[in-house]
Amino acid sequence: MTAPARLSPGDPAPEFSLPTDTGETLSLADLRGRTVILYAYPAAMTPGCTKQACDFRDSLASLRSAGYEVVGISPDKPEKLAKFRERDAITFPLVADTDRAVLTAYGAYGEKQSYGRTVTGVIRSTFVIDPDGKIERALYNVKATGHVAKLRRDLGLD
């Protein structure tokens, strides 16, 4: 497997319609007209992913007041996402991309470096999608810790 194709500002955001942590289906089209922060993370209930999700949760009110909706995406099953939501009081949708097709379309699944080895997996990434469904920002290989604070600064919120 080679490195996945990456999205750039101005590219159309790949559409998706995926099951959520609540058992409903969420489509990118459902969010049209709003600016969406879609963040890809490797696995629910792991330390880094929990830190990142809780940072988004803790910033959600101010992100929403600035016009942003947050959605988390991982290859976890909806049942695991429901446990994650309940355990950590996650207050935004988590979508399950169990076949990794959407993650791949966003360039957030493929070869990556992990502890000096090349492995295949989810590439921790964040996408800001404008109200018309175009990529505004595509951030790859982000760090779990401190990423939300940096994103807020980059978006001019802090």
Pairing state of beta strands 117-122 and 125-129?
unpaired
| C-beta of residue 39 within 8 angstroms of C-beta of residue 56 | yes
Q: What angle do CA 89, 92, 96 make, to 5 degrees?
A: 100
**Partners of 38 in beta bridges:** 71, 127
Tokens standing for residue 132: 């018309």
Sign of the Cα torsion 71, 74, 75, 76 reads negative
Active site residue 49: yes
CB–CB of 18/97 below 8 Å?
Answer: yes
Residue 151 CA to residue 127 CA, distance in Å, equals 10
- Annotated active-site residue in 31, 37, 49, 60: 49
Catalytic residues: 49
